Amino acid sequence: MPKKRLFIGTLTFVSGLEAVREVIDSLGITGKWVERENIHFTYRFLGDVDEEKIPSIASMLKGKLRGVRAPLVEYKGLGVFPSLRSPRVLWVGMNSEALYEVKRKVDMALLPFGFPLEERFTPHLTLLRIKKLRHQTKFKNYLFKMREHLFERKLEAKVCLIESKLTPQGPIYSVLEEILLD
């Protein structure tokens, strides 16, 4: 049975990211930047899904998201996962109560397909997978300075079922289904 590696999310872009990259590069931090066209946030990672289930999942998502309002998202602050002591991922934070309602509907749509409800949801935009950190103190100071920085506030009206093909050069994303919120 052929499978596709899937996630449900929104491809987006936020102004001001070029300036972040310039500062990070000037600090001698190296790693793999997420390509502009691949910047997204994830409602739910599904992993490998049987191809024959994809139309049913798309249909269920459309049904559960009908009439749901598009969340107004505030892209604010920079942070790292898993910790400041050992940063591996640089991200932009997201604030939006309405985002959690969309997430709840996505989870409800997936229940019939054997995906349990997720307890944790930390919406963010991954910018960089950090490989080497030279100036830890300067990096921490920059993160501290940027923790309340407002990048952009905008409506995110699309929820997409996205295929992720992994390649040595990085992932290639293909939108299989796009659902527009109200």
Task: Give the CA distances from residue 48 to residues 4, 117, 170, in Å, rounded to whole numbers and listed in that order.
Answer: 5, 18, 17
What sign results for the dihedral spanned by CA atoms 163, 5, 93, 95?
A: positive
Q: When comparing pLDDT for 119 and 105, which is higher?
A: 105
CATH number of the domain that 96 lies in? 3.90.1140.10
149 catalytic? Reply is no
Q: Would you place residue 134 in the very low, low, confident or very high pLDDT band (cuts 50, 70, 90)?
A: confident
Choosing from 4, 40, 64, 103, which is the catalytic residue? 40
Domain assignment of residue 53, given as a range: 3-180
Assign 79 a pLDDT band (cuts: 50, 70, 90): very high
Q: How many CA atoms lie within 13 A of 57 on its CB side?
A: 27
Percentage of the chain beyond pLDDT 90 is 93
User: Strand 124-132 and strand 40-50: pairing?
Assistant: unpaired
Q: What's the predicted TM-score (pTM) here?
A: 0.93
Residue 44 has pLDDT above 90, yes or no: yes
**Identified catalytic residue from 76, 124, 146, 179:** 124
For residue range 52-63, list pLDDT tens digits in order: 999 999 999 999
Tokens of residue 49, six digits? 């899904």
* Residue 135: pLDDT band with limits 50, 70, 90: confident
Looking at the structure of the chain, the number of domains it has is 1
